Amino acid sequence: MRILVTGFEPFGGNAVNPSMAVVNALSDSPGLLKRILPVVYADSAQIIRDLIRVEQPDAVLSLGLCGRSSGILLERLAVNVNDDTCGDNAGDCARGRLIDSAGAVGYWSTLPLTAMHVALREKGIPVAWSNHAGTYVCNHVFYTACRAIEQLGGERPCGFVHLPPTGDGGLPLATLIEAVEICLDVIRANVAAK
């Protein structure tokens, strides 16, 4: 079983992006494809499209930072719009711009979110639902990954999880690593059961 898991480089004045730290810390188990994406709309989209097309993973789990969260956020929906006020790391400021003019309005996560939520709560890890992944590069990657899987045909679990910061008001890095390992175990069990 091959699972693609992605994180992001730092952005917006953040010295550290916990999604990058978590992906780098995950064990190099067979079938786990790890990649750090740039916080740049065009580049991140091209990289994840190419990874999905070439590697044909059985599932995709993308991770990002939500600086205002105090726990794990399970994202339900990717929306077909980029809209920000600060620009990406290349200075591209997208205001109300479609991600894909030929794509759907949105894509539901196809990860086993309910089982992930239960497993995280059982371990005492703070977790909450989020109805969409925003309109910045995190959502852009989530949407692009779902679109790429749709274009390949077939069904593969794909979705996005936002992580809190590791400093004050967030969670320790060790807890974030444990949370993502739990999510990956749930995804593996879900794929194996199909």
Active site residue 93: no
Options 138, 146, 158, 183, the catalytic residue: 138
Q: Is residue 189 within 8 Å of residue 116, measured between CB atoms?
A: no
CB atoms within 10 A of CB 22: 23
Provide the β-strand partners of residue 60. Answer: 4, 158
Residue 138 among the catalytic residues: yes
The residue from 66, 140, 146, 162 that is catalytic is: 162
Phi and psi at residue 19, to the nearest 5°: -65, -35
Choose the catalytic residue: 75, 140, 146, 183.
75
**In Å, what is the CA distance from 10 to each residue of 86, 101, 105, 142, 154?**
14, 29, 28, 18, 33
Crossing angle of the two packed helices 18-25 and 173-192, in degrees rounded to 10: 60
User: Would residue 140 show up in a list of annotated catalytic residues for this protein?
Assistant: no
Q: Report the catalytic residues.
A: 75, 138, 162
